Amino acid sequence: MFEFLTMLGAGLVTGFLIGLTGMGGGALMTPFLLVVMKFDPILAVGTDLVFAAVTKIVGGLGHHHESKISIKPVFWMAVGSIPASLIGSRFVLSQTDNRHLIDKFLPNLLGWTLIVVSIIIIARVLRVLGPKKESEVRYPAPWALVIIGAIGGALVGMTSIGGGTVIMALLLLFFSMPLNYMVGLDVMHGALLAIISAFSYILAGQTDFSTVGILLLGSLPGVWLGAKVVHRINLLLVRGILGLLVFGAGLQLLLGGGH
């Protein structure tokens, strides 16, 4: 019963943060499954991807009124991200018998990805990384979207973490676009990438569906609630706390908390 309530609570908090900020799904849930629930690293990644796919779709519906989704940039980003995520997930799934890689390399990769993601989140909170002035609008060329998508896709395929956050950071670093364009990209592409990546792990039997079900019982009301109260909460404060939580989770994995 305690385990059930712990997972329900983790789903609720993570869903609420996804609905509120659009980020934090894999960055909080994968470390939770590894460190608290003591999941095998590959099973943790596969379980989180299915959880994230469903939660992001519901979160996207909750946020749909905020964004104008352009199909063309989503297409070009998917050209890079989908093959990269399939290659990344294929690599990890081919190493299931290599315990050294699974028990050492994967938690370390997860840990470093979380550290990078947390730095990006905190940089955005401190406005070191953010949208430029509207007068300086520069849209990415298709080839740039393909490369950025490939980086995010490979990360998601191997770790389930960082697709949305890292992709958003690269777009903010090198380009300047209206916020609704970026939100649309994040919502539609993020859900698509999570779904495609999740299928590789489902087909390999690396998903714990009973855990996914319990987590969704918490996350679906949480993501809906987060999307509803987004205008009444100090998002900078929430993102700052989220950044620190993600940094702590990354540090925990690097120090051996996932073993």
Q: Return the pLDDT at 103.
A: 84
Instruction: Return all residues near 258 (Cβ < 8 A) that are at least 6 apart.
Output: 31, 34, 35, 41, 107, 110, 111, 252
Q: State the pTM of this model.
A: 0.85
Q: In this predicted model, what pLDDT tens digit does every residue of 123-149 receive, in sequence order?
A: 878 877 665 555 566 778 999 999 999
Q: Number of helices (H) and strands (E) in the chain: give both, helices first.
A: 11, 0
> Is residue 184's pLDDT more than 70?
no
pLDDT higher at 169 or 62: 169
- The whole-number pLDDT of residue 64 equals 57
Among residues 61, 58, 60, 51, which one has the least CA distance to residue 29? 51
Task: Give percent helix, percent strand, percent coil of the chain, each to the nearest 5.
Answer: 80, 0, 20
pLDDT digits (tens, 9 = 90+) for 106-117: 889 889 988 988
Q: What is the pLDDT at residue 48?
A: 93
The per-residue pLDDT for range 20-36, each reduced to its tens digit, is: 776 767 788 999 999 89
Minimum mean pLDDT among 7-11, 91-95, 116-120: which range?
116-120
What SS3 state is found at 176?
strand
The per-residue pLDDT for 42 is: 93
Question: 3-21 pLDDT, tens per residue?
Answer: 999 999 999 999 888 877 7
Distance CA 41, CA 17 (A): 23
Structure confidence by residue, pLDDT tens digits, 75-89: 999 999 999 999 999
Domain map (residue ranges) of the chain: 2-254
Of 51, 21, 66, 259, nearest to 161 by C-alpha is 51
Q: What mean pLDDT comes out for the span 223-243? A: 82
Kindly indicate the confidence band of residue 161, based on its pLDDT and cuts at 50, 70 and 90. Answer: confident
pLDDT on residue 201: 95
pLDDT digits (tens, 9 = 90+) for 171-183: 877 777 776 667 6
